[in-house]
Amino acid sequence: MSVESKSAMVTGASKGIGRDIALALARDGFDIVLGFGRDRAAAQAVAEEIAALGRKTVLVAGDVASPEVVTNLFSAAQSTFGRLDTVVINAGIMRMAPITRASLADFDAMMSVNARSAFLMMAAAGEQLRSGGSIIALSSSVIAKSMPGYGPYIASKLAVEGLVKVMANELRGRDITVNAVAPGPTATELFLHGKSQQQIDALAQAAPLERLGLPQDISAVVAFLAGGQGRWINAQTIRVNGGFA
Q: How many domains does the chain have?
A: 1
212: in domain? yes
131: in domain? yes
Identify whether the C-beta of residue 53 lies closer than 8 Å to the C-beta of residue 32. Answer: no
CA distance 106 to 114: 12
111: in domain? yes
Q: What is the mean pLDDT of the chain?
A: 96
199: in domain? yes
245: in domain? no
Domain residue limits at 154: 7-240
What residue type is 141 in one-letter code? S
Q: Give the pLDDT band of residue 4 (cuts 50, 70, 90).
A: low
Q: 3-class SS at 224?
A: helix
Q: Give the pLDDT band of residue 3 (cuts 50, 70, 90).
A: very low
Annotation says 150 is catalytic: no
Q: Give the pLDDT band of residue 30 (cuts 50, 70, 90).
A: very high
98: in domain? yes
For the segment 66-111, what is each residue's pLDDT rounded down to a tens digit? 999 999 999 999 999 999 999 999 999 999 999 999 999 999 999 9
Q: How many helices (H) and strands (E) does the chain have?
A: 10, 7
Single out the catalytic residue among 36, 107, 153, 224: 153
Dihedral, CA atoms, 73, 29, 44, 51, nearest 10 degrees?
Answer: -140
For the segment 110-167, what is each residue's pLDDT rounded down to a tens digit? 999 999 999 999 999 999 999 999 999 999 999 999 999 999 999 999 999 999 999 9
Which H helix or E strand runs over 178?
A: strand 177-183
43: in domain? yes
48: in domain? yes
Q: Tell me the CATH number at 132.
A: 3.40.50.720
